[in-house]
């Protein structure tokens, strides 16, 4: 008989694997597998072969682990997920190496005019209002207000002690004394998270647009605006989904016997978000490519070959670039320039915070087990 949480392993593997397998489709075509190529070489046989090889191998790895994870305990699934991510990045590195070698051997950039189009301020973007994303956050705020009202209404009928944590099968595994704080803490945490996303939205709207021509200045402008719209949409949708999780957890606290079904609903929320991000990233790339035709004139401008500043096509390090943040080569949003002093400082703070949260979780988990 399979353990009750057997379904969770395959779900986590698939949700993690989908973005990894589709990674090349989530970036500009002129950076296949994170390698800069002129717009006239995006369909070169070497590029197509490298992309296909990456999709096939990572797809097989993900499918095999998804099947095997049915019989794995939770800790083994966690270790296997980390191993899968590491393997996919190794595959990524090997596949992109073939493109780099052929690009250098055939001199793809020889004779090409390169440069970045002038950066535009956020105010100069014609789609700034469309991309504001404010409506999503208004919806998230309304959902949180409804959750607060739901908590107040259900508080008298909530059990004492009250469940505040649920296992993979939805069974409550940690209880605390009933109080207004214990009943509202999830809502407060989720509201704080939504506020943080709203702050990120404000920051995003102030980052100067960097236009990558990719053989057409108009296409580069369209791609930059599309990236902005995509990021603001994802932030807004994430805020709404997080608010919905708060409501689901409130119901699970009030009705512990139905927590299993409610836990499944909560797990589906990040699944929906991952699928949405992947789908919108692919759609954004295609729309940007269709926004303007490639300029076939000899005076066209290509995006510079800056592979030397992208470690593995994923991490940007350029001390000569004054920009603190630059567009990612994959997916959505921007990434820190680790050649910038502030970028280095922020990255160190984030890494230390992650390590601290992991250590705190382990210490608190060990302490709670000893207290039982």
339's CB contacts (< 8 A; 6+ apart) are: 309, 316, 317, 318, 319, 320, 321
pLDDT digits (tens, 9 = 90+) for 124-157: 444 444 445 778 888 999 999 999 998 888 888 8
The residue ranking higher by pLDDT, 221 or 93, is: 93
pLDDT at 4 over 60: no
pLDDT digits (tens, 9 = 90+) for 148-193: 998 888 888 888 888 877 766 667 778 888 888 888 888 888 899 8
User: Residue 369's pLDDT band (boundaries 50, 70, 90)?
Assistant: very low
| Interval 196-219 mean pLDDT | 74
Q: Which pTM does this prediction carry? A: 0.74
Q: Are 167 and 5 in contact (CB under 8 A)?
A: yes
Query: In this predicted structure, what is the pLDDT of residue 3?
Result: 42
Task: Calculate ∠ Cα 127-277-36, nearest 5°.
Answer: 80
User: Residue 230's pLDDT band (boundaries 50, 70, 90)?
Assistant: confident
| Interval 272-281 mean pLDDT | 74
pLDDT at 229 over 70: yes
pLDDT at 61 over 90: yes
| Interval 368-372 mean pLDDT | 48
How many Cβ atoms from other residues are within 10 Å of residue 40's Cβ? 15
pLDDT at 68 over 70: yes
Place of tokens 């994303």: 133
Q: Identify any residues that bridge with 327 across adjacent strands, giving them in sequence order.
A: 334
Q: Where are the domains of the chain?
A: 1-112, 120-304, 306-372
User: Residue 320's pLDDT band (boundaries 50, 70, 90)?
Assistant: confident
Chain centroid to Cα 267, Å, comes to 16
237's CB contacts (< 8 A; 6+ apart) are: 136, 273, 276
User: Residue 294's pLDDT band (boundaries 50, 70, 90)?
Assistant: low
pLDDT at 239 over 60: yes
């Amino acid at each position: 008989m399979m353990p009750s949480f057997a379904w969770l392993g395959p779900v986590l593997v698939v949700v993690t694997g989908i973005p990894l397998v589709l990674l090349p489709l989530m970036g500009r075509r002129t950076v296949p597998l994170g390698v800069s190529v002129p717009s006239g070489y995006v369909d070169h046989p070497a590029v197509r072969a490298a992309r296909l090889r990456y999709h096939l191998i990572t797809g097989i790895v993900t499918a095999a682990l998804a099947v095997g994870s049915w019989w794995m305990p939770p800790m083994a699934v966690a270790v296997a997920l980390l191993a899968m991510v590491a393997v996919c990045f190794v595959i990524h590195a090997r596949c992109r190496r073939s493109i780099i070698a052929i690009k250098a051997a055939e001199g793809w950039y020889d004779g090409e005019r390169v440069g970045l189009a002038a950066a535009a301020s956020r105010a100069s973007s014609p789609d700034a209002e469309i991309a504001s994303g404010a409506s999503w956050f208004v919806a998230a705020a309304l959902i949180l207000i409804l959750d607060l009202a739901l908590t107040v209404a259900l508080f008298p009928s909530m059990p004492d002690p009250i469940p505040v944590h649920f296992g993979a099968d939805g069974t409550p595994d940690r209880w605390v004394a009933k109080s207004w704080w214990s009943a509202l803490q999830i809502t407060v945490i989720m509201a704080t998270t939504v506020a943080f996303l709203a702050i990120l939205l404000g920051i995003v709207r102030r980052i100067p647009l960097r236009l990558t021509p990719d053989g057409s200045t108009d296409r580069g402008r369209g791609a930059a605006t599309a990236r902005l719209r995509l990021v603001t949409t994802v932030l807004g949708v994430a805020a709404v989904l997080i608010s919905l999780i708060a409501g689901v957890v409130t119901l699970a606290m009030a009705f512990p016997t139905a927590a299993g079904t409610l836990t499944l609903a909560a797990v589906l929320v990040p699944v929906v978000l991952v699928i949405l991000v992947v789908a919108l990233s692919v759609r954004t790339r295609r729309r940007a490519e269709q926004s303007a035709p490639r300029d076939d004139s000899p005076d066209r401008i290509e995006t510079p070959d800056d592979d030397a500043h992208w470690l593995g096509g994923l991490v940007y390090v350029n001390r000569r670039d004054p920009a603190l943040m630059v567009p990612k080569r994959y997916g959505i949003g921007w990434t820190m320039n680790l050649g910038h002093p502030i970028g280095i400082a922020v990255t160190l703070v984030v890494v230390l915070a992650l390590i601290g949260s992991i250590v705190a979780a382990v210490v608190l988990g060990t302490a709670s087990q000893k207290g039982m």
